[in-house]
Amino acid sequence: MTGLVLVSSLTACGLTPTAENKAVSNARDTARRMSNVLIGARSLWRARDIGRRASEMKDAEVLKVSGTSRRDGDGVRLIIRVEGRATDAMNADEVVARPCFEFRVSDRVEWDTTPPKVDCPPNPPLTFGPWPKDPELPSVARLRKAVPGVPKGGRADEAKVRRAVEALRLDPAIITEYLTQGDTVGVSLTVKPYLDGALDCVLVRVAPGRTDVFVPSTIQRMPGEGGCSAGNAISPMPPPH
């Protein structure tokens, strides 16, 4: 009959050291792969967010987080208990090891680095709660319905467009920009996501005879690209090749 045995009880059970060593080795290999995930997650730079991401990984318990940011000083350090398993050849028992490893997350840490094994702190695993929610932008359909159109030969009125957008009672965290050029009004509604990366935005172009509501490409929504500007609503950039 097979069973599940924790490494701490190996001696009493008469299991071979090879099974224990293999379980710890498997945990170490899992820790190396976890380290690669955390190092590769460039959008995660706050210590708490790195810890939160680590806590979501399978077979991992985050016991300690220190540092403030992966971009500052030595980066962020975490002590994580990692589970490793192996089968004892003598009696087919499954051996479980739960050693702790110290992870360092920094832009200067090399890829595929195996975190060193350390003593486990006595405290229970840390909890981080859910990820913060970003403000929700209005849908393309809702904006198209709300913004007043302009007949051919007419002229878009920025004040009317503003009133129509304000009537939607959007989240105050949404950045709203207006621009008038000639007979056309452009509007951009932008949200900077909690995590770094592409901005979330929707653009409105109100011109005589036509109203367009659209979302720029991901590349154009990257910070610094200008894709989420009211100017891009009036004169959209060509799609990326």
Average pLDDT, the chain: 90
Res 42 pLDDT > 90: no
To the nearest whole percent, how much of the chain has pLDDT over 90?
74
Res 3 pLDDT > 70: no
Average pLDDT rounded to a whole number, residues 46-67: 96
Domain definitions of the chain by residue range: 4-118, 140-234
Res 10 pLDDT > 50: no
d(C-alpha 47, C-alpha 75), whole Å: 8
Question: What is the tens place of the pLDDT at every residue in 141-173?
Answer: 999 999 999 999 999 999 999 999 999 999 999
pLDDT attached to residue 18: 83
Question: What is the tens place of the pLDDT at every residue in 112-133?
Answer: 999 999 999 999 999 998 999 9
Q: Are strands 184-191 and 100-105 parallel, antiparallel or unpaired?
A: unpaired
Residue whose token pair is 């920025």: 158
**1 band by pLDDT with thresholds 50, 70 and 90:** very low
Tokens (6 digits) for 136: 């929700």
Average pLDDT rounded to a whole number, residues 167-183: 96
Question: What is the tens place of the pLDDT at every residue in 61-84?
Answer: 999 999 999 988 889 999 999 999
Buried b (16+ CB within 10 A) or exposed e, 6-43: ebeebeeeebeeebbebbbebbbebbeebbeebbebee
Res 5 pLDDT > 60: no
pLDDT attached to residue 6: 52
